[in-house]
Amino acid sequence: MLRHNRLNSNRYNNNNDYPKYTHRPNDYGPNPFVTNIEKDTLQNNNFRTALWTGNYLQLTLMSINPGDDIGLEVHNDHDQFLRIEQGEGLVMMGDSKDNLDYQKRVLDNYAVFVPAGKWHNLVNKGRIPLKLYSIYAPTEHPFGTVHETKEDAEHHH
């Protein structure tokens, strides 16, 4: 018989039962860190916030406004994982920026795997902000990165 210690004794019936957190755009890496990633992602209103940056892995939170996109890009030296927590989008990938022949609709709870060397973009096709988190391996953005808008991100990229 399993016994739960005090850390595991709380049970949450729905998202509103979780403890209330105030989102702070801090980069907690490379220290050990545990968080409610769904809550952090949904509370993030910045285009991009680096939540944890380690030596070989990085997690960023993103909020994409309706009709906007992440921006067409390619990462030649690392893979990328995206997890959609809220919204509706269109993922496009391909071998060149002019040939994004892989296209899939994504919704809440979808995961996207972007192989190194693939051009890709994600467009918000919904009426509400598209909330997601992204994991890069190795890291992509400097420690502590916060881009309030897509324009800020483009200026620093």
Q: Please compute the mean of the pLDDT values over residues 125-130 and round it to a whole number.
A: 98
Whether residue 3 has pLDDT greater than 80: no
Region 43-68: mean pLDDT is 96
* pLDDT of 13: 36
pTM, two decimals, is 0.77
Domain boundaries, given as residue ranges, for the chain: 37-155
pLDDT of residue 154: 84
pLDDT confidence bin for 139, thresholds 50/70/90? confident
pLDDT band at 141 (very low <50, low <70, confident <90, very high): confident
43 sits in which H/E element: helix 37-43
CATH of domain 37-155: 2.60.120.10
